[in-house]
Structure 1
Amino acid sequence: MIEGDLVISADFGTSGVKVGVVDSSLTILARVTAAYPLNLAPGGIAEQNPTDWWEALAQALHALHQELPELKSRAAALVFSSQLLGLVCCAEDGTPLRPCLTWLDKRAAPLGKKLVGGFPEIHGYNAPRLARWLRIANGAPAKNGMDPTAKMLWFMQQEPDIYAKTRWMVDVKDWLVHRATGTMTTCPESANLTWVMDTRLGREGWSETLCALTGINQSKLAPITQADTVVGPLTPQAATDLGLRANVQVLAGTSDAMASTLGSGEVADGALHVSVATSAWIAGFFPNRRLSVAHSYATVTSGLNFRPLLIASQENAGSALDWVAAITGGGEHPYADIGTPQPDDPLFLPWLAGERVPVDNDRLRGTFHGLSLHHDAAALRRAAIEGVALNLRWAMSKVAREKGAQTSGTLSITGGLAANPAFAQTLSDALGRNVRVCAARHAGMLGTATLAAPLMGWADSVTGAAARLKSRSSATYTPDPERSDALTHRAHSLDKIRRHTIRSYT
């Protein structure tokens, strides 16, 4: 019997956690963001301390208790979503043995290339091994070392003492659920992206064949659990940390990609949405597995009855805009007044941390092309916004070829960058489509909350609850025909620059 009428939804991103209290109408009654550090260092290092995530959650809950004094008596469920592709090495009791290698960590890139490469090759992959991966997992480890596969191998080779003490190798959300309940699980999306999971219909689970192929120890991998499964109540210690009752039910939770999809309300097959935050991705559910080896995207097996979820990720979006703002002295609102686009504005490739879709190459680096003495800070910021939008157009041109993909009508966008009017309008102009801004910064939080809707009696299904969110918009944008034509011309120029730039890094 569920006691309480509210759900606490926590969406863990790269720089902080967004925690909201959600009611039966899927309205956020109160929300708080708590930050945590990201350690970036030369050599591709990008680490976080798992305890920082938990302490940020506790800090956010403390603030929410002040805003909603009745929260402790009314909270019935706690649901997490998080960034993907992290790797936490834990002891038997869940204690982290070292900082987490986050999705941004690329130090394992040489191991990633070695794992997948070798004669005879196709697109940098050994053909026989690639065929096995594609048949079983519907994909293969990325060459850039960002997937957990290469990170696990890195631990085996570079930190063997840590690896020997490791009982569990899990993703970010998995560790959080364990900290809350004492039970270790993993979601299908995280499992799929280790590339040792069998994703074939009716065979979903860890693959002995792929574990043997990669050398990954299956016994160190957590049980794969559906997103809306109740894992258990809070442990007494977790309840004390968070100021909640111990009978609050904790669900298995999901990835940020699926949370964003649910939060966008785009739950029909082929309905795509775009999430733009630190990074960016195009995502949507499909009725069966999809894969593009040439353009480095695929469906992953989601935590909703293993339903295929296409994810086409790009490494740089808000991170690139933040960088440009920092080097141009943009102040508190650097993109609020950037002037009118000019025909000779520079062109920008936002590959500041490599790229993944539609070209998987961690060595790619960004550039401004066509700079002149008269270009000022505003011109660079205009170019940055345009460059991120046209980079997404480039990826969308590949994904849109998938059978059943919806390529017309209004496109839903989520994520912090979606709240930037200049960017949202530029994306509408670049794609030639109406753009609907969903809950922007809070779509992931709302999507995460829908996982608890059946448990709470708010809806018959998770997707039924999520579909209700499609009617909510914070803003809509219509493409300007003249600007769309100009961006199409500039996109053609960028196509030529991309080809030459990519060739220089191969």
Structure 2
Amino acid sequence: MSVNVIAYDVGTTGIKTCLFEISDKITLIDSAMEEYDLYIMENGGAEQDPNQWWQAMCCTTSRVLESSKIPKGSISGISFCAQMQALVLVDDKGEPVRRAMSYMDNRGEEEMKKGIMHGFRISGLNVSKLLRSIMISGAVSASVKDPIWKYKWVENNEPEVFSKVYKWLDVKDFLVCKACDRFVMSEDSAFATLLYDTRKDKNGFSKELCKMMGVQFKHLPEICKSTDQVGTITQKAAEELGLMAGTPVFSGGGDASLIGVGAGAVSEGETHIYMGTSGWVSTVVKKQRLDINNMIASIIGANPSYFNYFAELETAGKCLEWVKDHLALDEIGVFLDKKQIWEDPENIYKSLYDFMMYSIKSVPAGSNGVIFTPWLHGNRCPFEDHNARGMFFNIGIETGKTEMIHSVAEGICYHLRWQLEAIEKKVKTLPTIRLVGGGALAPLTCQILADVLNREIETVENPQNVGAVGAAVTIAVGLGILDDIESSKKFIPCKRKFIPNQENISIYDQYFPVFKSLYKSNAKSFRILNQEVSGKSSGGNDEYKTPSSMSTGIL
């Protein structure tokens, strides 16, 4: 038996629509990518237009059907993998009442201070709210970027807009609503609000937490499983998407849940590292764990039998995009060779990123002493500081841009090592780690990670599509093709292994403590430089759109 399905990978900078055939394996038939805007504001805001997500979903669906020649009537279901912890406020018709606030948005600092940082405190948080949150949900809204503080920011600053709110949705849940007119959230999205009760036999949104945090319970939608069929495509949505009305719609999950599924890391102790626009280290655990000091929590996954012990890096591949735009284009020849790279069909470079990686491959481990910190938009784990920023440390008169670019890849890997160390204080990880995301496309990045971590690294087929693969798995389980999420491992074998280079390990072991010291040494300076800037513009709405990327998966 084989079926055709469509999985939507809804990222920070664009949507990738993948058409898969599911039989005894998951085979990618065709895909299409469409970008949309990310609005970055001077007051810490980061917003997107939900209707741009839908428009991108519609145009990419039409393109994959036209390109593949697969009839729309043969599509057995659609599902989603999406960025998480956005705030999408909609009216009773499912239309957004304002632009969505991205997971990157950090405007809710005052709301967080009033909501959980007053009174007697532990680790800076109100002790009674902290302990009660942990008891109910196994986590706490301890980051200014958590969606509760976005919700409260809208309530406090845009009361007229807030009065129009019917439901609070996340990114994929908005798209599900557009497709089938259902206001639902999968369990992992619901947990990401940090208002979800994880206690046995009490699973669901907590009225107590809502009251404690000042959230209107009526704004929260119905909860479902990631593998549930939540509806069918309406006639209106079918006309816009180019699909058949009545096609099953499955809820899917967030990227933090389904990328691990697509990586094949679904059993206890298995760890995957994601290197896309953002990055993370995630280990599958049987019981919830929480490390407030290092900002690591156990989040509900697509498989309800397990949790993902999850440490997030705000900007990973985004740092490489920054490097491409601001360093590479004017020195290592990409700008001059750009026309040739794109127009020569025999050219070995699939993208500007491939050419950039090729240009730095001879730089030695340690980048001749240059260290980069990948905190271009603040950081969450193992320290929470939205004022933290990136830096190049220890530049000398002989330093060139190739060393600087190489140090960016190393800096991302140093930070991932820091997170892995923090994870291993609480849980046991298996020796081999799966690396996925666009960063896994570059063998150089894979080898640097293996050397920095001193761990064997595995990659899979099409690592930039693992979120969509995870979404396809939810359809396969929902249709009864697979018994459960864990049985999907047989579909996702290792494609390539990277063994640590012993000579490089000693260099990275020497430089890693220096990397970690850079935050502590500069935290006060970050606060002086960046809080002051934020304060001057806190009442303004000045914004800019991030430049569109020429991504082939690294973002």
| TM tier, smaller | over 0.9
- CA positional deviation for 1:341: 2.0
User: For 1:96-129, what per-residue CA distance to the aligned partner results, in whole angstroms no more than 9, with x for missing partners?
Assistant: 1111101111111232233221232222111121
- 2:506 matched to 1:482? no
Q: Aligned residues, how many?
A: 499
- 2:389 matched to 1:368? no
Report the equivalent of 2:516: 495
Which aligned pairs between 1:194-205 and structure 2 lie closer than 5 A? 194-205=193-204
Give every structure 1 segment of 4 or more consecutive aligned residues whose post-TM-superposition deviation is greater than 6 Å.
none
Which aligned pairs between 1:205-244 and structure 2 lie closer than 5 A? 205-244=204-243
CA distance in structure 2 between the aligned counterparts of 1:141 and 1:38, rounded to whole angstroms: 24
Secondary structure of 1:37's aligned partner: coil
- CA positional deviation for 1:140: 1.0
Conserved? CA contact 1:263–1:469, under 8 Å: no
User: For 1:192-230, what per-residue CA distance to the aligned partner results, in whole angstroms no more than 9, with x for missing partners?
Assistant: 122221111221111111111110001001111110011
User: For 1:59-94, what per-residue CA distance to the aligned partner results, in whole angstroms no more than 9, with x for missing partners?
Assistant: 111111112223312101000111001111111010
Report the equivalent of 2:485: 462
Report the equivalent of 1:71: 71
- CA positional deviation for 1:378: 0.5
Secondary structure of 2:487's aligned partner: helix
Runs of 5+ consecutive residues of structure 2 not aligned to the other structure:
335-351, 528-555
Conserved? CA contact 1:452–1:462, under 8 Å: no
- CA positional deviation for 1:501: 2.3
CA distance in structure 2 between the aligned counterparts of 1:203 and 1:349, rounded to whole angstroms: 42
Conserved? CA contact 2:298–2:310, under 8 Å: yes
CA distance in structure 1 between the aligned counterparts of 2:302 and 2:186, rounded to whole angstroms: 6
Conserved? CA contact 2:5–2:472, under 8 Å: yes
- CA positional deviation for 1:503: 5.3
User: For 1:173-206, what per-residue CA distance to the aligned partner results, in whole angstroms no more than 9, with x for missing partners?
Assistant: 1100000000110122221122221111221111
Report the equivalent of 1:140: 140
Secondary structure of 1:73's aligned partner: helix
- CA positional deviation for 1:421: 2.0
Residue type of the alignment partner of 1:101? M
Residue type of the alignment partner of 2:145? M
- CA positional deviation for 1:422: 1.9
User: For 1:367-412, what per-residue CA distance to the aligned partner results, in whole angstroms no more than 9, with x for missing partners?
Assistant: 1111112111111101111111001001100102223x2241x210
Query: Which of residues 435, 438, 444 is equivalent to 1:422?
Result: 444
Secondary structure of 1:76's aligned partner: strand
CA distance in structure 1 between the aligned counterparts of 2:523 and 2:491, rounded to whole angstroms: 40
Report the equivalent of 2:149: 150
- CA positional deviation for 1:283: 1.5
Query: Which of residues 11, 17, 21 is equivalent to 1:19?
Result: 17
- CA positional deviation for 1:468: 1.6
Which aligned pairs between 1:320-359 and structure 2 lie closer than 5 A? 320-330=319-329, 331=334, 332-333=352-353, 334-338=356-360, 339-341=362-364, 344-359=368-383
Conserved? CA contact 1:225–1:303, under 8 Å: no
Aligned-residue CA RMSD (Å): 1.7
Report the equivalent of 1:445: 468
Residue type of the alignment partner of 2:80? F
CA distance in structure 2 between the aligned counterparts of 1:481 and 1:314, rounded to whole angstroms: 27
User: For 1:146-198, what per-residue CA distance to the aligned partner results, in whole angstroms no more than 9, with x for missing partners?
Assistant: 11100110011001001101101111111000000001101222211222211
CA gap of 1:252–1:306, structure 2 versus 1, over 3 A, is: farther
- CA positional deviation for 1:504: 4.5
- CA positional deviation for 1:307: 3.3
TM-score by length of 2: 0.87
Report the equivalent of 2:261: 262
Conserved? CA contact 1:181–1:238, under 8 Å: yes
- CA positional deviation for 1:476: 2.3
CA distance in structure 2 between the aligned counterparts of 1:113 and 1:423, rounded to whole angstroms: 39
CA distance in structure 1 between the aligned counterparts of 2:404 and 2:225, rounded to whole angstroms: 45
Q: Which deviates more from structure 2 when the two are superposed, residues 332-341 or residues 59-68?
A: 332-341
CA distance in structure 1 between the aligned counterparts of 2:21 and 2:118, rounded to whole angstroms: 54
Secondary structure of 1:80's aligned partner: strand
Which aligned pairs between 1:5-44 and structure 2 lie closer than 5 A? 5-24=3-22, 25-44=25-44
Report the equivalent of 2:337: none
CA gap of 1:71–1:435, structure 2 versus 1, over 3 A, is: farther
- CA positional deviation for 1:287: 0.9
Task: Say which structure, 1 or 2, has more relative contact order (CA 8 Å, 6+ apart).
Answer: 2
Conserved? CA contact 1:345–1:375, under 8 Å: no
- CA positional deviation for 1:351: 1.0
Percent of paired sites with the same residue: 26
- 2:422 matched to 1:398? yes
